[in-house]
Structure 1
Amino acid sequence: MTEALPARSEASAFYRLIIPLMIAEVVAALELTMIYAAMRSLVADFGGTSSAGWLVTSFMLSSAAGAALFGRLGDLLGRRRILLWVVALSTVGSLISSVTSDLGWLITGRAMQGLAGAIIPLCFGLIRERVAADRVPLGISLIASSASIAAASGLVIGGLIVDYADWSMIFKVSAAMGAIAFVAVLIHVAPDKRSNLGGVRDDLVGGLLFIPAAVGLLLAIDNGGHAGFTDPMTMVYAAVAILSLIAWIWRELSVENPLIDVRLLAKPQIAWANILFVTIALGVFQGGQIMALFGQQSPATGAGLGLSATLAGFLLLPANILTGLIYPLVARANQNFGPRRVATTGCLMVVASFLALVAWHEDIMTVMLLLVVQAVGLGIVYVTIPIVIVGAAPMDRVSEATGMMAVIRSTAMAIGAQTVATMLSRGGGHHGASTGVFPTEAAYENVFLFVAVTALIGALVAQRLPRSLAAPSQ
């Protein structure tokens, strides 16, 4: 009985830390996805997809830049302290968006909401810092689980809000949830024990140079997708990104204590894990975009399932919720079988499901079953990658390393989204004038094959992951 008490106390302390962090990550995930349900109303109110699209773009840009920068500030100044600042700024952004009808202020609010992209690397850093080594994979899996389930539910929740209120209510709900998350972290997560302001002063320039590099690259990809990669603005964005990237790398390699350590990305375990994330983000991360369109497209056009928007949203919901629930089992599998075997298995599940979709995509139940298989495979890889990176990164740079992981993922996702959109658009027009605006069946089959190939490359990359989980780096 006396031996059970310390174990019970340790478990209680573990969940007192994890649950507030899960609440914070739920807020970040819902802020990302609920807006999609309101896009039709926002397009109507602001006069077109280009204007309304900036509500998504501004969020993604600040999310990508903030993940690495605020993650590193958390490593130096205290992860709880920076987490509270990030949640507070994101909540203020929600409040601004909830009370304005001006597009400029709405974009400003969404950019502030996007700072919530730093929540997950800060959570990973807190888990590594405050949790026993054997519980770190479980902690990471629970954070990933909350993000996955919340993201999957965001479209449905956002749809219900828009159906019964208006788009401003989405931001009011986000603000209320942000306030709850702030209080939960403030009360239940113990204050930081250290702060290294000198580390910030040593290389503030390096941190500032990273922002235009990350933002410029994502803007170049985004603008190139709809205006063309020879468009003058695309070329300007690309030039800013390249010059800033070169200056940033030169700066970080020349200082003794860089704010964001480029050398960390070259560490084999971290490098191969990020490369695996690139292969997955290029392909299977586009599943939501692909299946939302395929699900709603009428079979009369030669392809599609002919579902309503709501039912199409439910196509991936069961798969994503099921996947989120099994994430803790993925953490245990990594401990028992090692990241290499686990990640390879996940990639091969994605390969099998999308190859099957090439042949069988007419029946709704068959499609849903295959989406469950691919979602579980993706979830396995999605949890394994941060487990590897968190374990390989030095204790004082965990949030930085996972923040850079988020930047790399966002960039690869942007490239993958443009690739998939191009493949689908080039496949249109084979069924006459009345249906030419929709992708053809052959176009969907090519996209399914593209996703399968990227996942197969991922399975090959996974062979470079460690065979077993080593003791975390100090």
Structure 2
Amino acid sequence: MARVSATAELPAPGIRPGGLVGVLAFIGIVAALMQTLVVPLIADLPKLLNTTASNASWVVTSTLLAGAVATPIAGRLGDLYGKRQMILICTIPLIVGSVICATASSLVPMVIGRGLQGICVSLIPLGISALRDLLPPERLNSAIALMSSSMGIGSALGLPIAAAVAENASWRVLFWGSAAFSVLILILTWFFVPPTPIHKAGGRFDLIGAVGLTVGLISLLLAVSKGGSWGWTSGITVGLFVTTIIVLLAWIWFERRTDDPLVDLRVTAKPQVLLTNIASIATGFAMYAQFLIIPQLLQLPESTGYGMGQSMLAMGLWMAPPGFVMMAVSPLGARLSAVRGPKFTLITGALVLALGYGSSMLLMGSTWGLVIVACIANAGISLAYGSMPALIMGAVPPSATAAANSFNTLMRSIGMSVCAAVIGVVLAQMTIQTNGHPLPSEAGFRTCLMIGCGVALIAAAIALSIPFRKMSSRIEIPAEPASAAAS
């Protein structure tokens, strides 16, 4: 395929790169904050919402499902109608959902509100794609790295912020604060993010493909996230897995035959894109394991012999340094990608992540040791997450940028969902009795940490097989096919 320089796609001058990158990074951090907003409340949700613990888990599940469904749809709409427009549109349900959650007193409105908040996950790939359209090539690598890392940065910082607010003020303040941040996103986007060029005018939105992917994803993620409580061999779980296979196979058949697919599978099947997406599933799994394990170890009572006995607030504060490590490593990852290529950065990131999990075998016995483990792991996450969009955008045309990045984000989310199911099963099977209550055992936590290490090594092996050719420092992009250019 012919290739053209990215400079051919730059819009008119007058863009303030610093302000643009700062605003989009802020948007990414806020979007990620929404994912960890309720983590400190999970134990109290049944009492706060007057429901059971099983029903309260839908507060988390609804966010996951809404984000997974909205991300590829918003990405395709961004390619068709402009990324700035979709960022503004996706911010509206975030505002509405935050207000609903802040005023909720029962389960149903809280689940609805959290579902609306989950749509904001799509802001991250939309922002990354906007950077490609709006920034000069020499600023692109560092901006992509920062924007990509914002998901991990926001998740890491979300714990201490949410814990501090939940412990010292009303839990409703969390959601009123998210509503205020959402309004700020709307204002900043309006003033600092210019309209992005539309590379394929006249394209149609694939409604049938959107419905098919929605049904397939909901079936898959419901089965993975709720299978542990419903039973992995129960009729509903097996039925959801069967539905997933049938619907997604039909979706693939349809997408390959439509002129304007929701996801261009011909592009997605290119080895560079396909292998990056597979590596993203493994990286998402490996990334999420530490977020599930380390906070628990910090909060378990010291009487277990391996818990650190920290309060909710103290746990959140101990988890803050890893978030700052991600911020510090992000520009280093951009420089590494500029010198050695994003494939090398992804491999390095996965190996550093594996090193973090491996070090836990020696460092798990102290609070500082756990923080060091998280810092090493987060350094690897920052490197890996910052490199994936560059690999994706190096292989897709501008008309598919947002859709391709959104699909990549979806792959990470699937990896995280599978991780939550696997870690949940392992910890539920390997328990000890403390004061008459079952708690995950030290052996269970060590097993989960080694699973994270193994999956990170798998991610590195997959990344090693990506057929990426090192180019010049500027990102080059595939030229549009003649048929697309004429449409």
Q: Is the 8 A contact 1:200 1:259 kept in 2?
A: no
Deviation at 1:349, TM superposition (A): 1.9
Amino acid aligned to 2:349: G
Aligned to 1:449: 450
1:344 to 343, 347, 352: 347
Q: Where does residue 25 of structure 2 map in the other structure?
A: 22
Equivalent runs, 1:374-453 vs 2, <5 Å: 374-429=377-432, 434=435, 437-453=438-454
Q: Which amino acid aligns with 1:97?
A: C
Q: CA deviation at 1:61?
A: 0.6
Q: How many residues align?
A: 463
Q: Distance in 1 between matches of 2:253 and 2:148?
A: 34
Q: Distance in 2 between matches of 1:173 and 1:304?
A: 32
Distance 1:267 1:296 in 2: 45
Q: Aligned partners of 1:460, 1:174: CA distance in 2, in Å?
A: 39
2:70 aligned residue (66, 73, 78): 66
Equivalent position amino acid for 2:131 in 1: I
Shift of 1:243: 2.4
Deviations 1:313-339 (A, max 9, x none): 333320121222220221111011122
Q: Distance in 2 between matches of 1:264 and 1:204?
A: 20
Q: Which amino acid aligns with 1:443?
A: G
Report the equivalent of 1:472: 477
CA, structure 1 residues 123+235, in 2 after alignment: closer, same or farther (shift >3 Å)? same
1:366 equivalenced with 2:391 (yes/no): no
Aligned partner (choices 150, 156, 159) of residue 152 of structure 1: 156
Of residues 16, 22, 34, the one that matches 1:13 is: 16
Q: Structure 2 matches for 1:42-57, cutoff 5 A?
A: 42-46=45-49, 47-57=51-61
> Residue type matched to 1:261 in 2?
D
- Per-residue CA deviations over 1:276-320 (Å, capped at 9, x if unaligned) read 112222233210111111122234324222322222233332012
8 Å contact from structure 2 (residues 199, 398) kept in 1: no
> Out of 140, 147, 151, which is 1:136 matched to?
140
CA change 1:342–1:222 in 2 (3 A) is same
Q: Does 1:93 align with 2:94?
A: no
The one-letter code of the counterpart of 2:372 is: L
Q: Deviations over 1:56-92 (max 9, x none)?
A: 1111111011111111110011111111100112111
Greater helix content: 1
What SS does the corresponding residue of 1:438 show, helix, strand or coil? Answer: strand
1:191 to 183, 189, 195: 195
Opposite residue 451 of structure 1, the aligned amino acid is G
Supply the distance in 1 between the matched residues of 2:285 and 2:149 (Cα, whole angstroms): 21
- 15 and 23 in structure 1: CA distance in 2 versus 1, 3 angstrom threshold: same
1:246/1:44 CA distance change after superposition, 3 Å: same
Task: State TM-score, norm by structure 2.
Answer: 0.89
Given that residues 65 and 211 in structure 1 are in contact (C-alpha distance below 8 angstroms), is that contact kept between their aligned partners in structure 2?
yes
1:244 matched to 2:247: yes
Q: Check conservation: 1:354, 1:374, Cα contact below 8 A.
A: yes
1:319 aligns with 2:336: no
Q: Which piece of structure 1 moves more, 256-265 or 244-253?
A: 256-265
CA distance in 2, matches of 1:85, 1:96: 18
Q: How much does 1:383 deviate?
A: 1.1
